Amino acid sequence: MLNRMHTSKLGVISDTHGFLDETIRAIQLFRDHSVQTVIHCGDIGSSEVVRVFQGLETHFVFGNVDGENEVLRSAAEETGNYFYGWFGSIERSGRRIAFMHGHQSPQFEQELASGNWDLLCYGHTHVASFQRHGSTLLLNPGAFKQVPRPTIAIVTLPDMTVEPFDI
C-alpha cells in the first residue's frame, strides 16, 4: 500500500547556528530538488535564519544553543511556518516523522526505543549520519558550524531513501 502513496521530498537541516549564507544555499538546494517540507532540528541561531524559510513549509524545534527563545518562535509564526518547542512530529506520505535536537538524552532514547516513528531526525552532534534502528530510520543531517563542510539531507517519502548534500 505504501508504494501507491504520493511521493514527496522532505528536507532535513540542523545546527545552522545563524549562518545565513549557508542557510540560503541550503534552501536553494531544497527548492532545486522539489522539497515540499523542511524540518529544522534546532540550534537555529537567529530569527534571520528562520525568516529565510518563508514560502517553504518548515517545522522548527529548539536546540540547546537556542534555549527557549520566543523570538525564534515568533519569526516562524510570522513566516507562516511551525514551531514545536523541544519536540515535534508530523506525518507525510503515510510516514510518521519525529524531530528534536537530540541533546535531551533520556527523551531521545525513549523516542528511539518506542518504535512509534518511521523517521527520527535530530542534530546536536554535528555529525551527519543515517542508520536503521529497528523499524526507525535515524537521521542526523549534519551541521553548519565546526565541520569541514556544511551538510543537509533530503529524504524521499514514502520509500525513505536519504540523499546527503554538501552545501
Q: How confident is the model at residue 64 (pLDDT cuts 50, 70, 90)?
A: very high
What is the spatial distance between Cα 17 and Cα 69, in angstroms, rounded to a whole number?
13
Residue 1, pLDDT score: 41
* pLDDT at residue 3 is higher than 80: no
* pLDDT at residue 4 is higher than 90: no
In percent, the amount of the chain with pLDDT more than 70 equals 97
Average pLDDT, the chain: 94
Place of cell 545552522: 16
Residue 7, pLDDT score: 86
All cell numbers assigned to 62: 529548539
Place of cell 520509500: 159
Structural domain for 36, as ranges: 2-166
CATH number for 87: 3.60.21.10
Partner residues linked to 87 by β-bridges? 100
Residue 52, pLDDT score: 97
What mean pLDDT comes out for the span 34-57?
Answer: 97
Question: Residue 37 burial by CB count (10 A; 0-12/13-18/19+): exposed, middle or buried?
Answer: buried
Q: What is the pLDDT of residues 22-40, one digit of tens each?
A: 999 999 999 999 999 999 9
Place of cell 542534530: 123
The number of domains in the chain is 1
Q: How confident is the model at residue 5 (pLDDT cuts 50, 70, 90)?
A: low
Residue pair 52/73 in contact by the 8 Å Cβ criterion = no
Whether the ω angle into residue 150 lies within 30 degrees of 0, i.e. cis, is: no
Q: What is the pLDDT of residues 65-109, one digit of tens each?
A: 998 899 999 999 999 999 999 999 999 999 999 999 998 788 899
Place of cell 525568516: 51
Residue 28, pLDDT score: 98
